[in-house]
Homo-oligomer: A and B are copies of this chain.
Amino acid sequence: MKNRCYCKILDNIEIAPSIHKIEMERVDGLGNIKPGQFLHIKCSDALLLRRPISISYAEKDKVGIVVRKAGEGTVSLCNRKKGEILDVLGPLGNGFTVNDGKRVIVIGGGIGTAPLLELVKNLEEKDVTVLVGYKDMPYLVDDFKKYVKVVDVATEDGSVGYKGYVTDLLKAKLENDGADIIYSCGPEVMLKKVQKIAKEYKVKVQLSIEERMACGVGACLVCTCKVKSEDGVKQVRTCKDGPVFWGDEVMLGE
């Protein structure tokens, strides 16, 4: 039977303004972890619901998450201290499908870069390009560099790397080299562009999307999104059937 887990916080550091990397014990209850899966975390006693946070990396005895202070829940989470115990449910969700194709592009925007770290760790045999975009201050770039040679950075203000959107880099890469598959996570506007570009270049793409959640396990139906399939449009649950969907199926923001 699955269970909720109590994981001790091993470390909590601010890696960029308002961005924390939190490392916790990997207790046995967590079981296997696939890249793209998330934890559903009770951030504070003062908040009723859990918050979905992607697993950024998993090692033998620890699990790392990267959290952006977005509101009350994530602020509380970022304020939790080393030694405190986190109440987590998971790993939840489907995760990325990693066995498709050789030439891979991994493209992330902002906090959406977090889950891609565990993904690239699982793409060792492949020919991987990582494209990451940020508003201003990049983070996790060095972590990506541990696993892949090509990590191209874009910032909107041009402070680091290419000045502009990371999707421009995607377009250029596809134009020059092509790819077999694209994996992406980031804000909805970015995912929509990635989806469109992938279609244009006829490359398969997996998108990890976000939706407000309550249960996180597929029971409450508050997190649905729409996917197109042969028998028409179907509603699926982001938490259980996702958060990763094929780009030619998922209907973003509809």
* Partner-B contacts on A (CB < 8 A): 44-46
Q: List residues of chain B with CB within 8 A of the CB of A44.
A: 45-46
Question: Shortest Cβ distance from A101 into chain B, in angstroms?
Answer: 48
Question: Shortest Cβ distance from A120 into chain B, in angstroms?
Answer: 38
Across the A-B interface, give the 5 residue pairs with the lowest CB-CB distance, nearest first: A45-B46, A46-B46, A44-B45, A45-B45, A44-B46
Question: Shortest Cβ distance from A242 into chain B, in angstroms?
Answer: 31
**Cα A44 to Cα B46 with chains together (Å):** 8
**Cα A44 to Cα B44 with chains together (Å):** 11
Question: Shortest Cβ distance from A4 into chain B, in angstroms?
Answer: 19
**Cα A45 to Cα B73 with chains together (Å):** 13
A45: nearest chain-B partner, CB-CB: B46
Q: List residues of chain B with CB within 8 A of the CB of A45.
A: 44-46
**Cα A45 to Cα B75 with chains together (Å):** 13
A81: nearest chain-B partner, CB-CB: B81
**Cα A45 to Cα B45 with chains together (Å):** 8
**Cα A45 to Cα B44 with chains together (Å):** 9
**Cα A46 to Cα B72 with chains together (Å):** 13
5 contacts between A and B (CB under 8 A): A44-B45, A44-B46, A45-B45, A45-B46, A46-B46
Q: List residues of chain B with CB within 8 A of the CB of A46.
A: 44-46
**Cα A46 to Cα B46 with chains together (Å):** 4
**Cα A80 to Cα B45 with chains together (Å):** 14
**Cα A234 to Cα B46 with chains together (Å):** 40
A72: nearest chain-B partner, CB-CB: B45
Question: Shortest Cβ distance from A50 into chain B, in angstroms?
Answer: 15
Question: Shortest Cβ distance from A217 into chain B, in angstroms?
Answer: 24
**Cα A216 to Cα B80 with chains together (Å):** 31
Question: Shortest Cβ distance from A97 into chain B, in angstroms?
Answer: 41
**Cα A11 to Cα B238 with chains together (Å):** 47
A44: nearest chain-B partner, CB-CB: B45
Question: Shortest Cβ distance from A110 into chain B, in angstroms?
Answer: 28
Question: Shortest Cβ distance from A85 into chain B, in angstroms?
Answer: 13
**Cα A232 to Cα B186 with chains together (Å):** 72
Question: Shortest Cβ distance from A86 into chain B, in angstroms?
Answer: 16
**Cα A46 to Cα B44 with chains together (Å):** 8
A76: nearest chain-B partner, CB-CB: B45
Question: Shortest Cβ distance from A9 into chain B, in angstroms?
Answer: 15
Question: Shortest Cβ distance from A72 into chain B, in angstroms?
Answer: 9
